[in-house]
Structure 1
Amino acid sequence: MELRQLEYFVAVAEEQNFTRAAERVHISQSGVSAQIRQLESELGAELFDRSARVTTLTPAGKAAIEPARAALAAAESVGRAVDEVTCLVRGALTVGMVTGCTITPLFDALATFHRAHPGVEITLLEDNSDKLTAGVDTGAIDTALIGAAATPNALHSHTIISEQLVATFPPDHPLAKKRRLTLADLQPHPIACMPPGTGLRTVFDQACASRNIHPPITFQATAPDAIADLATRGLAVAILSESMATHYRDRLTHRPLADIETPALLSLIWKTPNTPALREFLTHARRAFGNS
């Protein structure tokens, strides 16, 4: 019994005519008839009643039709599985990361994915979160690690970090005397913050706008190290996330901003896992971030 015989059998059953079935499978009618006869011989039963103008299934044919369809579907699944592996070997993956990214699990995920699938061409690019989000939405980027106030509704996401913003300054700064800070406390002081288009800045700007507060943002930098260095030299109060600020606790102190209720998110985003490479990378990424 061969798959092509089952294919011809299903074609005749569905077309109820040998001629139309032959046209459907692109061989001669005599070829279809010969293969069906051979199948019937192997099964030891006639599958079709050929006595009328319309070809119909015999009881044996009715019993065989669904298993035949299932066998053809299974064979098609095998082909798809092999095609996916082949595509993965020859695939491409574009990953974005927010500027100044120091989240090593992302690099761990890229490394384990590359070892598992060395044939996939990986492109890694850096930009602000707004541009990365737009790239994922249009399909130019497969997945990206972004900072955000919220994940766009049209995209899927895996949140890595969710934390409050803090004000960061030297231990002898006047604000260090306060245990609780609000946005209003920042108004007399120059501010160093990330630029527009970043998740942290979006959270900060939205909170200030909701309270009609306009602290002077005199310094902007994409790298947390640069923002912290400005604060260390007394040039500004740095606005950072809590985990960022802890990296500089040997020289800076920080206080939470009590009236910023929305957390800053660090999230891996994607639109639709519609390629084998993206599906495989997401598996590696979830594992890497989960282990961290």
Structure 2
Amino acid sequence: MELRQLEYFVAVAEERNFTRAAERVHISQSGVSAQIRQLERELGAELFDRSARTVTLTVAGKAALEHARAALAAAGAVGQAVDEVTCLLRGRLTVGMVIGCTFTPLFDALAAFHQAHPAVEISLLEDNSDRLVEQVRAGAVDVALTGTAAVPDGLDALTVVSERLVAAVPAGHPLTKRRRVTLRDLAAHPLVCMPPGTGLRTVFDRACAAASLRPTIALEASAADAIAALAARGLGVAVLSTSMAAAHSDRLTAHLVDDIGAPALLALIWDGTRNPAVRELLAHTRRAFGIPAPGGVGNAGEAAGC
């Protein structure tokens, strides 16, 4: 009995058709049929009823199916365990990134990961933070860099940035003369802010709701540079994080918003670490952002010298 025979058996059982099963395992239909017949001879029982248009499992086939799946899963686990120890990761890693992100440490982490594990195919996609969270939950994205007000329930997270919100205005704006800026002060002016679904906007909206304020969001943009550019031209007060505003200190003056105590977070999120590629990417991300590993020790890949 060979693993490929079990693979073909499972494929036929799930597809209920020899032709579709052959397409799935990328060999000819006659090859699948021959291997299934050989497996049946070794087991001494027919596994499929071939009398109808749709192939169905016999009683013996039903009894064998879950054991065949378990054997294939165990064989896959053996290969994965060896790959982890020898650092020969393979497969695909789907990384999500919040729209408008230009955070270069993430790109450094991806480059270092790719250099260490060239056999892993990396795909990168942009979306807003709320949708990225849902894609991580659904398994469509392995790990995502998101802006958030709090770590999403049921997911793991590594916070890479935690910053207060500021109001940023150009020279000559009335707010430049104030020593303190509050939400009520902001509500007296049109605002330029990130759109709903972003972490910064969530923090801002929650603070406004708690203060029973409904400020005017005149303009929305996904990129901090665009928000700053609009505010610099007098189109509204920019609502940004401290580092976003600091990047435009040559044309905008930033004031902490006193009554927004909750920070906006930029965090990597993932659903467990069953995927060894995710664990390795997290290790590279910690190094790129200068974040110590938990407990001050590296992960298994680091210990093995990967």
Q: Work out the CA distance in 1 between the residues paired with 2:84 and 2:223.
A: 39
1:20-31 mapped onto 2 (5 Å cutoff): none
Distance 1:79-1:231 versus aligned 2 partners, 3 A rule: closer
Paired residue for 2:267? Answer: 267
- Once the two structures are TM-superposed, the CA of residue 79 in structure 1 deviates from its matched residue by 6.0
- Once the two structures are TM-superposed, the CA of residue 101 in structure 1 deviates from its matched residue by 0.7
Match of 2:290, SS?
helix
Distance 1:78-1:201 versus aligned 2 partners, 3 A rule: closer
Asked if 2 retains the 8 angstrom alpha-carbon contact of 1:88 and 1:277, the reply is no
Asked if 1 retains the 8 angstrom alpha-carbon contact of 2:89 and 2:276, the reply is no
Output the amino acid matched with 1:168: A
Paired residue for 1:98? Answer: 98
- Once the two structures are TM-superposed, the CA of residue 191 in structure 1 deviates from its matched residue by 0.4
Q: Which moved more, 1:78-87 or 1:237-246?
A: 78-87
Output the amino acid matched with 2:155: L
Asked if 2 retains the 8 angstrom alpha-carbon contact of 1:92 and 1:122, the reply is yes
Paired residue for 1:133? Answer: 133
1:121-162 deviation per Cα after TM superposition (whole angstroms, max 9, x unaligned) = 100011111011111111111001111100012011111111
Q: Work out the CA distance in 1 between the residues paired with 2:80 and 2:268.
A: 28
Paired residue for 2:250? Answer: 250
Output the amino acid matched with 1:111: A
Paired residue for 1:6? Answer: none
- Once the two structures are TM-superposed, the CA of residue 262 in structure 1 deviates from its matched residue by 0.8
1:60-119 deviation per Cα after TM superposition (whole angstroms, max 9, x unaligned) = xxxxxxxxxxxxxxxxx9866325469954310000111111111110110011011111
Match of 2:259, SS?
coil
The root-mean-square deviation of aligned C-alpha atoms, in Å, is: 2.3
Distance 1:199-1:274 versus aligned 2 partners, 3 A rule: same
Number of aligned positions between the proteins: 219
1:140-219 mapped onto 2 (5 Å cutoff): 140-219=140-219
- Once the two structures are TM-superposed, the CA of residue 288 in structure 1 deviates from its matched residue by 1.2
Paired residue for 1:54? Answer: none
- Tell me if 1:108 matches 2:97: no
Paired residue for 1:123? Answer: 123
Q: Work out the CA distance in 1 between the residues paired with 2:147 and 2:78.
A: 40
Give the percent of matched residue pairs that are identical in Structure 1 and Structure 2.
62
Output the amino acid matched with 2:243: S
Could you tell me the TM-score, scaled by structure 2's length?
0.68
Q: Work out the CA distance in 1 between the residues paired with 2:134 and 2:147.
A: 13
Asked if 2 retains the 8 angstrom alpha-carbon contact of 1:87 and 1:276, the reply is no
Output the amino acid matched with 1:177: K
Asked if 1 retains the 8 angstrom alpha-carbon contact of 2:180 and 2:257, the reply is yes
Q: Work out the CA distance in 2 between the residues paired with 1:79 and 1:141.
A: 23
Q: Work out the CA distance in 1 between the residues paired with 2:132 and 2:142.
A: 10
Distance 1:139-1:173 versus aligned 2 partners, 3 A rule: same
Task: Please list every run of 5 or more consecutive structure 1 residues that lacks an aligned counterpart in the other structure.
Answer: 1-25, 27-76
- Tell me if 1:279 matches 2:279: yes
Output the amino acid matched with 2:232: T
Distance 1:165-1:89 versus aligned 2 partners, 3 A rule: same
Q: Work out the CA distance in 1 between the residues paired with 2:79 and 2:122.
A: 26
Match of 2:133, SS?
helix
Q: Work out the CA distance in 2 between the residues paired with 1:108 and 1:159.
A: 17
Task: Please list every run of 5 or more consecutive structure 2 residues that lacks an aligned counterpart in the other structure.
Answer: 1-41, 43-76, 293-306
Q: Work out the CA distance in 2 between the residues paired with 1:87 and 1:136.
A: 25
Q: Work out the CA distance in 2 between the residues paired with 1:267 and 1:81.
A: 28
Match of 1:288, SS?
helix
Q: Work out the CA distance in 2 between the residues paired with 1:201 and 1:154.
A: 22
Paired residue for 2:234? Answer: 234
Output the amino acid matched with 1:122: I
Asked if 1 retains the 8 angstrom alpha-carbon contact of 2:169 and 2:176, the reply is yes
* Higher gyration radius (CA): 1
Asked if 1 retains the 8 angstrom alpha-carbon contact of 2:144 and 2:270, the reply is yes
Q: Work out the CA distance in 2 between the residues paired with 1:87 and 1:228.
A: 44
- Once the two structures are TM-superposed, the CA of residue 278 in structure 1 deviates from its matched residue by 1.4
Paired residue for 2:68? Answer: none
Paired residue for 1:224? Answer: 224
Asked if 1 retains the 8 angstrom alpha-carbon contact of 2:83 and 2:89, the reply is no
